[in-house]
Amino acid sequence: MTARTDTPSAGWRDWLTTDTPQSRAQARLGRAWAGWTAFRRNRLAVAGLLIVLALVVVAALAPVLAPYHPYAQDLNGRLLPPSAAHWLGTDAFGRDILSRLIHGARLTLMIVALVAATAPLAGLVIGTAAGYFGGWVDTVLMRITDIALAFPKLILALAFVAALGPGIENAVIAIAITSWPPYARIARAETLTVRRSDFISAARLQGASSLRIILGHIMPLCIASLIVRTTLDMAGVILTAAGLGFLGLGAQPPLPEWGAMIASGRQYVLEQWWVAAMPGLAIFIVSLGFNLLGDGLRDVLDPKGD
């Protein structure tokens, strides 16, 4: 007698990988499963995903995970090296560096989330409008984009923060304002490749307005490329925010922002190296995680990929 090998997991796998889906939901889930299968074969991409998920978990559970309050000072315990009591040492005010890094993850995640929710959206709107309408609309919008791209991002962000004033909110606004041009370029290029397609012409013949065509047919086709670009750009966003904080134009003391922590420890870098090295290491690890995740998503979502 032959033993049955059917299991619930095998049934679900067969349902997801079938060549003849019975519904739109099944087809979408099947594509998602195929993408996840391809993604998890890239071990570096999975490592990047785990780093990003760890950042989210640490930010969400910061009050639970931090052994000390991030603002609690102990002048009798200034500049202590890493030990059992303070795993990553203390800073010039006797504050626990590990606790400040954990709470600083919240600021980093907030900056990343706000920039990711604003800059790509602005670039998507500008790029699709320029690519779809063409003519003078395309010329005006793309020349504005070219002007924005002509300035180094950090220098332009410094100018905006200097005009708006120092602070974490103004730093986020400045980074978002300087981050949209590459997304507009990508969205315009994607729009130019599809605006004369048969399905766009069919939508026009059915009486669809330009707004409906852009929102319902063109923008969804640009999402995959923008997701990849957004993930890859997050490392740059983190570095720009840290740079503003280091220069005193981002998060203000006593906020535990990682760039500001490096700035406060730069005068001790030779003797009490951990004060600046630990937040620098945190920036490095998180930036590496976003880069690895972006590379993996590019391999999965790139329609030209093998």
Q: Are 33 and 290 in contact (CB under 8 A)?
A: no
Average pLDDT over the chain, rounded to an integer: 89
Nearest to 69 by CA among 91, 92, 102: 102
The CATH number for 215's domain is 1.10.3720.10
Domain that holds residue 292: 45-305
Whether 25 is in a domain gets the answer: no
238-273 pLDDT tens trace: 999 999 999 888 888 889 999 999 999 988 988 899
**Which pTM does this prediction carry?**
0.88
Whether 300 is in a domain gets the answer: yes
Q: SS3 for 197?
A: coil
37-64 pLDDT tens trace: 889 899 999 999 999 999 999 999 999 9
Whether 31 is in a domain gets the answer: no
Query: Which residues fall within 8 angstroms of residue 13, CB to CB, at 6 or more apart?
Result: 33
Distance of CA 255 to the CA centre of its chain: 21
pLDDT digit string (tens) for the chain, length 306 residues: 444 445 666 677 777 777 777 788 877 787 888 888 889 899 999 999 999 999 999 999 999 999 999 999 998 999 999 999 999 999 999 999 999 999 999 999 999 999 999 999 999 999 999 999 999 999 999 999 999 999 888 888 999 998 988 888 999 999 999 999 999 999 999 999 998 889 898 988 998 899 999 999 999 999 989 999 999 999 999 999 999 999 888 888 889 999 999 999 988 988 899 999 999 999 999 999 999 999 999 888 865 544
Whether 6 is in a domain gets the answer: no
In the structure encoding, which two tokens stand for residue 58, read together?
């640490």
In whole angstroms, what is the distance from residue 175 CA to residue 245 CA? 12
